Structure 1
Amino acid sequence: MSGRVLRVSTGAVIAVGLALSVIAARDEPVDLLFYFTVQVDLAYLVALLAGSHDRLRTAFTVYLVGTALVFVVVLANPWSGYAMVATTDARGPVSDAGNLLLHAVAPPLAAAEWLTRRPRAALRPAYAVSLLGYPLVWLTVILVRGALGRDEDRYLYPFLDVPRLGYPTVVLNSLLFALTLLLIALTAVRLTRPVPPSPAGPAPR
């Protein structure tokens, strides 16, 4: 599949997924904007349309792959202890479809698109560490919002539910998420490095 087809496919999947999520949100579209996945998908879509430079495109791709892993391993896994199955079921098939597109379809497409257009300049490990800045800001906003709010689901994700888990567990969960993102980012950095040439074999006699 060509890079152009991948870009168009990824953009279309994200656009449809976001539209379905807005429909499923019904009376709480503003709350939808606080979700990490929604913010990342929106940013990726804007960057895709604007022809974003390599570093931003890499950042959003790393975040998308991270959300996919968390969704599959944690949020969609009924044995994880943090599954959002009940919430999704309450919203119906429209929410299911939106979640599937944003969490399970768009990230692999974005990763494949990134692989077809890797950054021209090699990225450094410090860049991978810098990608943790945005998730940290997002986490701070969510925790402050949760502390000031009264809604039962104000922390958005079960693994961040302070009243149920307590701050130590939430901090541990956040560190695990940060480590996951860092490993993905370091992998992306490694993939931008040129492959060293193979050592020359012994001269023929």
Structure 2
Amino acid sequence: MTAPIPRDIPDLPALPRTRPRLLPSAVPARAVVPLVRRPVAAAYRLTLALVATGAVLVEILLGSPARVLGYFAIQSAVVLAVVMLASARRAWFARHPLPGAVTGAALLYIVMAALVHHLLLADATPRFSMTTTPAGPSWLAPLADHTLHTVLPVAALLDWLLLSPPARMHLRRAATWLLYPLAYLAFTLARGELLPGSPSRYLYPFLDVARHGYRSVLANALLVGLSFYALAVLLVALDHARPNPVRRHSKTGFRL
């Protein structure tokens, strides 16, 4: 006759009750989020790209192309036009937006060019102009200048605040964004040395080595560079603090 089977076996340890753990996935979250078309954002960015292109073309037609294309504001407008055109295409075809490092750089350059113009150049004596002997109607050059230094920066800020998702800029990119201004400083100083007899050898008065000397010019460049970095940090901080303006709609395939 066999012994009864005990209901509890004390020699066996109790199994721990643990919840199943989810394995980490290598697929980013945005890869599984359905993308939708954003026609309003696409139309706005396409318009902004066309306005920037038109302002640059007007400045080139009114002045010397070699001189006009050397200005930081003109180059920033060209960068903005390219970035806005690419962003408009992605928004229209329901693709992932451009990296925050690219859009943040374009925004930083166009805003900083506007601040330098309004704070340092608008009331300069003699009067600052990117076209020394403009041709055509007298109102065309001021309109192009106003578009480059006021309309485009404000429009780019509105696109960032109202039509772009937040928290896409990172602080580690702030120092990287300064590489282009540093390269531009080297370009404008080299241009001045290569054109010793030209009256327009230095494009900006605060970078005029012939008038102020290298010590003052480098000090001015340092102040502008620190302002660049401070503005970049401010944009990154605001990008992480602002609410998400991109509204999701589950019933339709469109959103702003």
Deviations 1:146-200 (A, max 9, x none): 111121111111111110111111111111211221121111111222579xxxx
Answer 1 or 2: which has greater helix percent. 1
Match of 2:76 among 36, 40, 56: 40
User: How far off its partner does 1:65 sit?
Assistant: 0.5
Alignment correspondent of 1:160 = 207
Match of 1:7 among 22, 32, 45: 45
Alignment correspondent of 1:188 = 235
Are 2:53 and 1:19 aligned? Answer: no
- SS, match of residue 123 in structure 2: coil
Alignment correspondent of 2:23 = none
How do residues 135-146 of structure 1 correspond to structure 2 at under 5 angstroms?
135-146=181-192
User: How far off its partner does 1:121 sit?
Assistant: 4.5
| Cα distance in 1 between the residues matched to 2:242 and 2:79 | 31
Would you say the 8 A contact 2:169–2:239 is kept in 1? yes
| Cα distance in 2 between the residues matched to 1:112 and 1:21 | 24
Would you say the 8 A contact 1:22–1:29 is kept in 2? yes
How do residues 78-117 of structure 1 correspond to structure 2 at under 5 angstroms?
78=124, 83-84=127-128, 90-91=133-134, 92-117=138-163
Question: Structure 2 vs 1, CA of residues 47 and 123 (structure 1 numbering), >3 Å: closer, same or farther?
Answer: closer
User: How far off its partner does 1:114 sit?
Assistant: 1.2
- SS, match of residue 124 in structure 1: coil
Gaps of 5+ in 1: 197-205
Match of 2:177 among 125, 131, 156: 131
Question: TM-score, length-normalised on structure 1?
Answer: 0.82
Would you say the 8 A contact 1:6–1:112 is kept in 2? no
| Structure exhibiting the larger radius of gyration computed from Cα positions | 2
User: How far off its partner does 1:12 sit?
Assistant: 3.0
Would you say the 8 A contact 1:82–1:158 is kept in 2? no
Question: Partner amino acid for 2:49?
Answer: G
Question: Structure 2 vs 1, CA of residues 53 and 71 (structure 1 numbering), >3 Å: closer, same or farther?
Answer: same
- SS, match of residue 165 in structure 1: helix
Alignment correspondent of 2:25 = none
User: How far off its partner does 1:5 sit?
Assistant: 5.0
Question: Structure 2 vs 1, CA of residues 46 and 69 (structure 1 numbering), >3 Å: closer, same or farther?
Answer: same
- The more displaced of 103-112 and 47-56 is 47-56
| Cα distance in 2 between the residues matched to 1:58 and 1:73 | 22
Match of 2:222 among 158, 170, 175: 175
Aligned-residue identity in percent: 31
Question: Structure 2 vs 1, CA of residues 82 and 36 (structure 1 numbering), >3 Å: closer, same or farther?
Answer: farther
- SS, match of residue 154 in structure 1: coil
User: How far off its partner does 1:37 sit?
Assistant: 0.9
Match of 1:65 among 80, 88, 111: 111
RMSD over aligned Cα atoms: 2.3
Deviations 1:2-47 (A, max 9, x none): 644542342232122112101111xx21222211111111111112
